[in-house]
Amino acid sequence: MTLFLVAGEPSGDRLGAALMAGLRQLETDVRFAGVGGPMMQAEGMTSLFPMEELSVMGIAEVLPKYFHLKRRIRETAEAVIASGARALVTIDSPDFCLRVARLVKAARPDLRCIHYVAPSVWAWRPGRAVKMAEVIDHVLAILPFEPPLMTAAGMSCDFVGHPVVAEPLASPAERAGFAGDGPLILTLPGSRRGEVTRLVPTLGAVLARVQAVHPGLRVALPTVPSVEGLVREMTAAWPVRPQIITDAGQKRGAFASADLALAASGTVSLELAANACPMVIAYRLHPISFWLMQRAALIDTVTLVNLVSESRAVPEFLGPECRVETITPAVLDLLANGAARAAQMAAMDLTMQRLGRGGEAPGLRAARSVLSVL
């Protein structure tokens, strides 16, 4: 049996690799074709072309590559049809993947098309699910409240668990590297240049005020190589010099050891929940972008811990509320207020339970779901 898998981002490559490992565990005669990164290639795929060609975000970045991406969509769809695969499994990256699925379905209406990672129709643009159902038969959801939304749009859907529950936690040796007397604040300004540029000045000013109350304050700042230089440059004048981290083991140690995190909005909230690290969420957008987001939003919180736990335990400061004067009291309260910390701990524990902690690995659950569809 041949399956054709398509991933367009490093996160999708990780999901795809875990799915492939799960499929091989359950099905001895399975072969893979498609587009994937180094992790999927290590599991036995020869990528049709380098996955990195698809890792493009933003209109300004996409426009110069528009015709190249259109050609890759067509080439990928033609390769799916020629492969004789039993199914097409697209992984996240909906702008690319669903266009491939549309061409494949037009040529092979009988071919099963499965999409891994449901679009966030619960947050905005709910009509996307109905449009997606025109070309997708089955969805592998990573959030527990998504299956009813997918089935209502006309697709079958299984919740297969979130990959965060399978990520390794810090070893005692990794934690030992962050032992110290003063409180340790994990600072996470994002992984994109725009996020870092907008957030670092505000976060630095917050930390300066926290240091005035806690003179022994320590700061750890995990980042990625693509923005490491910018982070070092922008934090050089901070009154509290952060320990800038790019090593994976040190990152695990920092997540496990921190007293709290001051973080940009995003899936990092689930990584923090996995490590039982209380958090304050902050995010700044262009005023017009924030206004448009508010107009389109279907939810009153963007923090996944709040959404999954059905609580509002995690304070968040978005758009015009992302100010030193509003964020600082929340950070100081979380350092001192046992009740606020306990509420977050309970919300994080419930979140991890609902995401599948302690159960079968998400990659294996996803593999069972794929095979059940076939």
Helices (H), the chain: 10-26, 38-42, 59-62, 66-83, 94-107, 127-132, 147-153, 172-176, 193-213, 225-235, 248-257, 268-274, 287-296, 304-309, 324-336, 338-354, 362-373
Q: So what's the pLDDT on residue 185?
A: 98
Report, as an integer, the average pLDDT of 276-286. 89
Query: Would the pLDDT of 56 be above 60?
Result: no
Report, as an integer, the average pLDDT of 211-215. 96
* Percentage of the residues of the chain whose pLDDT score is greater than 90: 78
Query: Would the pLDDT of 223 be above 80?
Result: yes
* Helix, coil or strand: residue 253: helix
Q: So what's the pLDDT on residue 290?
A: 64
More confident residue, 139 or 54: 139
Q: So what's the pLDDT on residue 320?
A: 86
User: For the segment 108-128, what is each residue's pLDDT rounded down to a tens digit?
Assistant: 999 999 999 998 887 667 888
User: For the segment 182-208, what is each residue's pLDDT rounded down to a tens digit?
Assistant: 999 999 998 878 889 999 999 999 999
Q: So what's the pLDDT on residue 313?
A: 96
What is the third-level CATH fold of 172-354? Answer: Rossmann fold (3.40.50)
Report, as an integer, the average pLDDT of 119-142. 89
- What's the mean per-residue pLDDT of the chain? 91
Q: So what's the pLDDT on residue 59?
A: 45
CATH 3.40.50.2000 fits 2-161+358-373, yes or no: yes
Give the domain ranges of the chain.
Answer: 2-161+358-373, 172-354
* Helix, coil or strand: residue 280: strand
User: pTM for this one?
Assistant: 0.85
* Count of other CB atoms within 10 angstroms of residue 51: 25
pLDDT band at 289 (very low <50, low <70, confident <90, very high): low
Q: Do domains 2-161+358-373 and 172-354 have the same CATH topology?
A: yes
Report, as an integer, the average pLDDT of 56-73. 67
CB-neighbour burial class of residue 98 (10 A; exposed 0-12, middle 13-18, buried 19+):
buried
* Count of other CB atoms within 10 angstroms of residue 109: 9
Here the tokens at position 236 are 């050089």
